[in-house]
Structure 1
């Protein structure tokens, strides 16, 4: 079963259980997926679906920070609940040690030697780690590995 099909089934389950908050978050997710499919004129695979989910989660995290800065904890809590619902569809995140090992393996594989090779190294790592690791952390580790 594809990720999109699983999300659709979860939407039906949430409808039957009358879980309004969960249903709203899933409908928002399906709308974002459908919009991306219309924009790109293709059916999204699981990797593209994960990318769409990550984008929504990132938007929610930004909103939480803004709501907390404005003193609106009620709205921040609602966004946190959506993050939890959307996060259930993301793959398990890799640990720091696993990410560091993947970076070291990619450095050895590509023969990257300096900061000029960062783009080449990130091009190798991005498809492998997309959805499984925070790409900002990967970028930080790549910079550190290439600075040595």
Structure 2
């Protein structure tokens, strides 16, 4: 599965710890991340990650394009709800795209735990069917 990893500045330590804890699960999938988040996770875990620009410089939109083209299966986006983000419209657009295309999205550690355990049990195999039939998720 294709998995995106994104974190706001105050949540980067959390997503790095999460990636360390579930390194063996993440290693079985193709990973994508925004700039600094991807660098930090690669340094701490040794995982291979395709990196995009940082979020404010367009990385959120690059991942959004993969979602819109049905090429992203899961998004872990550890958001900081207490800090105003200069690229908030991009953040909202990414969340909206996940809803439109039925891409599982974790914005906090609690939901991330549930999704990662689902990945481990292969509960998200339905995404393989959706990926093969791109028209299943066409917005109406």
TM-score band, normalised by shorter chain = 0.3 to 0.5
Q: Identify the structure with the greater strand proportion.
A: 2
TM-score of the superposition, structure 2-length normalised? 0.33
Q: Identify the structure with the greater helix proportion.
A: 1
Q: Which structure's relative contact order is higher, taking Cα pairs within 8 Å and 6+ residues apart?
A: 2
Structure with bigger gyration radius? 1
